[in-house]
Amino acid sequence: MKQFVSSISLKRILFMGLVVTLAMGACKSKKKAVQPEPAPAPKQEVVQQAPPPPPARSAEEVAAEKLENNFNAIAAAGSVNSANQSIQETLAMFSNQETPVLIVIHEENGIKDYDEPTTIKKYLDYLKDTKKNLNYISDIRMDANGKVSELELRRK
């Protein structure tokens, strides 16, 4: 037996120690792999609410949009009859045919310079004749009945 012990060298002892250590380390990692992972926290269901509806548009905004469309329709009308029909529909939105239309030609430091004041009837006839809508609505005023009482335009 002494021969057997003596034939085992120090290198073999160290090598066997290394193998045993690795084997024990491998067992530990297998145990960790076999152990179930902790259950993930329950996910809370996210309830998405519908986005809030856009704020209601004011009567002035609705009227301005409709007037812009009517102005473009009058300027682009293919015939005099269709332009006249669009003019009559547009005039129904105003308190009367003499409603003032102011066209801003220049503004500086809050002071506005206007072109010669006109009426809505004359302005609509101008659109029909020139077939060009060069202005946009910058301000609109409504009366108590929901009809346009004053209109301010600006160059596009």
For the chain, the domains span: 2-34, 59-155
Provide the 8-state DSSP code for 78.
S
- pLDDT attached to residue 25: 65
Paired sense of beta strands 111-114 and 135-142, if any: unpaired
- Which stretches of the chain drop beneath a pLDDT of 50? 1, 29
- pLDDT attached to residue 13: 75
Spell out where the chain has E strands: 100-108, 111-114, 118-119, 135-142, 148-155
Q: Which CATH class is domain 59-155?
A: alpha beta
- pLDDT attached to residue 52: 76
User: Are 103 and 114 within 8 A, CB to CB?
Assistant: yes
pTM above 0.75, yes or no: no
- pLDDT attached to residue 15: 74
- pLDDT attached to residue 143: 94
User: Are 87 and 73 within 8 A, CB to CB?
Assistant: no
User: Are 133 and 154 within 8 A, CB to CB?
Assistant: no
User: Are 103 and 153 within 8 A, CB to CB?
Assistant: yes
Q: Mind listing the pLDDT tens digit for each residue in 100-120?
A: 999 999 999 989 999 999 999
Q: Mind listing the pLDDT tens digit for each residue in 114-143?
A: 999 999 999 999 999 999 999 999 999 999
- pLDDT attached to residue 116: 93
User: Are 151 and 135 within 8 A, CB to CB?
Assistant: no
- pLDDT attached to residue 46: 66
- pLDDT attached to residue 33: 53
User: How many whole angstroms separate alpha carbon 154 and alpha carbon 50?
Assistant: 38
- pLDDT attached to residue 132: 95
User: How many whole angstroms separate alpha carbon 156 and alpha carbon 133?
Assistant: 9
For residue 142, what are the β-bridge partners? 148
- pLDDT attached to residue 50: 73
User: Are 132 and 74 within 8 A, CB to CB?
Assistant: no
User: Are 74 and 155 within 8 A, CB to CB?
Assistant: no
- pLDDT attached to residue 53: 74
